[in-house]
Chain A
Amino acid sequence: MINVFFNILIFPGLIFLSIFGLGAEYFDRKLCAKLQNRVGPPWFQPLADFIKLLAKENVIPNQADPTVFTLMPVLAFTATLTAFFYIPLWQTKALSSFNGDLIVVLYLLTIPTLTFFLGGWYARSVFSMIGAARSIIQLFAYEIPLFLAILAPAMMAGTLSLSEMTVFYGSHPWLVLLNLVDFVIALVALLGKLEKTPFDIPEAETEIVAGCLTEYSGRLLAFFRIAIDMEMVVGSSLLAAVFLPFGFNFGFAIGFILYLVKVLFVVALLSLARTIVARLRIDQMINFCWKIVAPAAFLMLVVDLVVKGLISR
């Protein structure tokens, strides 16, 4: 019983995920700064931002719905944390797993976007309502490619459990190469999910102030920010578990370091995309996702089906 609470609250649960999320944000910002040829923030920057926001005044606008407005950051936070427990980190077995946990993880990772939508909508400010509408339009663009890109490796492994998938790819390591295109598709979709720069249309600060988060301040904003950081880590862990499934059998110490390296590698790819690509318009983003990314994901699904048929024969 104590073990369960330790796993949920401290390691690898709440405390570890929060610290790792802040660390990943620092890594992202520092790498972005290095790529732009500048010094960048000091190592404690995300922590200082978090503490400062916690200590700031909490403004709830008069026209906003106070219940939904205050509930949404907490919901985003908890949904991301819950998704983390079903992902295999440094061993093939996740903290908790059953056949179908892949679907649960994907849907739990959808909840933060829905909280942005609801939080922005119920703030009833012009900018946050435009941001909310954009974030839900964007959801329909990237969600299908992401699901398809992760479905293809799962279909190859013949299971919907993330833990069993890592076991399968542990015994068939060469099949991972087949999923490289899916890895790129999932990275693009993850950029949309995290609302990072090529797809930061919902919070485009040059057009609509700060999008869904325009009216948020103080503690609520702090929780939204740390939820986004944690979502970055959880999404990267999911991609690492599905597309980089190696090094699970070396024990805790090496496996843990390998896990950190894998997640930071995915985060580095995300910040690289953030640095080299400018923001798209919402219609360009929809066209790109539905005309290029989704057909590519469908094509890879067919390729995987053919290869699976050839192997099993």
Chain B
Amino acid sequence: MTLMSKIVNWARIKSPWIIHFNTGACNACDIEIIASLTPTYDIERFGILLKGTPRHADVLVCSGPVTRQIKDRLIRIYEQMAEPKFVVAVGTCACSGGVFRKCYNVGGGIDSAIPVSVYIPGCPASPKAIIDGVVKLLTSLEEKEAAAPPKTAEAVEIKG
């Protein structure tokens, strides 16, 4: 690893900007994600900022099972993000489809549409679990060559 790619990798780990996208969740996971952004948990300590536009963001935080209606939009938002990009699935529904699995209107978890880096289970996933998951994503980047995004649905399992 050259010095340049080391610096770039360091900067990527220290400054992950997130965008939050609800793919059909019941709003519980969304509230927990918002709670983890509040001063109580203060994830700006890790350089994490919430951005409104996919063009600025590095990490796509999804909550909820992928409904048939939202699937195309989810893929479109993922494609609008600039490389390198990572996806975090928050909540049991986002990990596997949860209780909505095999419903007529639900495709499954987030990984049925786009590749996912981190799965955070829980119904809803607590803010501590979300922060733990994001930190695990960042530490997993340290070991990689140039923080390349996963080509396939490669999972970093954590407990909620």
Task: Say yes or no for B72: interface residue by CB 8 A criterion.
Answer: no
Task: Say yes or no for B8: interface residue by CB 8 A criterion.
Answer: yes
Task: Say yes or no for A148: interface residue by CB 8 A criterion.
Answer: no
Within 8 Å by CB of B12, from A41, A52, A215, lies A52
Task: Say yes or no for A205: interface residue by CB 8 A criterion.
Answer: yes
Residues of chain B from 112 to 141 with CB closer than 8 A to chain A in the complex = none
Residues of chain A from 25 to 44 with CB closer than 8 A to chain B in the complex = 29, 33, 36-42, 44
Q: How far is the CA of A218 from the CA of B57 in the complex (A)?
A: 10
The segment from B40-48, B63-71, B93-101, B103-111 found at the interface with A is B40-48
Within 8 Å by CB of B83, from A38, A52, A56, A213, lies A56
The reply to whether A40 and B42 form a contact with Cβ atoms under 8 Å apart is: yes
Residues of chain B from 48 to 101 with CB closer than 8 A to chain A in the complex = 51-53, 55-56, 58, 80, 82-84
In the complex, chain B residues whose CB is within 8 Å of the CB of A37: 39
Among residues of A, the one whose C-beta sits closest to the C-beta of B8 is A55
Among residues of B, the one whose C-beta sits closest to the C-beta of A225 is B56
Given A45-B14, A51-B7, A51-B8, A209-B44 contact (CB < 8 Å): no
Q: How far is the CA of A45 from the CA of B11 in the complex (A)?
A: 9
* Central interface residue in B8, B42, B52, B55, by most chain A CB within 10 Å: B55
Give the size of the chain A interface in residues (CB under 8 angstroms). Answer: 34
Q: How far is the CA of A51 from the CA of B10 in the complex (A)?
A: 9
The reply to whether B12 and A55 form a contact with Cβ atoms under 8 Å apart is: yes
Task: Say yes or no for B15: interface residue by CB 8 A criterion.
Answer: yes
Within 8 Å by CB of B55, from A38, A42, A51, A217, lies A217
Residues of chain B from 24 to 47 with CB closer than 8 A to chain A in the complex = 39, 42, 44-45, 47
CB distance from A142 to the nearest CB of B (A): 23
Task: Say yes or no for A49: interface residue by CB 8 A criterion.
Answer: yes
Q: How far is the CA of A310 from the CA of B126 in the complex (A)?
A: 69
What is the 8 Å Cβ interface bit string for chain A, positions 51-77, against chain B (1 contact, 0 not)? 110011111000000000000000000
**Chain B contact residues, CB within 8 Å of chain A:** 7-8, 10-12, 14-15, 39, 42, 44-45, 47, 51-53, 55-56, 58, 80, 82-84
Interchain Cβ contacts under 8 Å between A and B, 20 examples: A29-B44, A37-B39, A39-B42, A40-B45, A41-B47, A44-B14, A45-B47, A48-B11, A49-B11, A49-B15, A51-B11, A52-B11, A52-B15, A56-B84, A57-B84, A58-B82, A59-B55, A213-B56, A216-B55, A217-B82
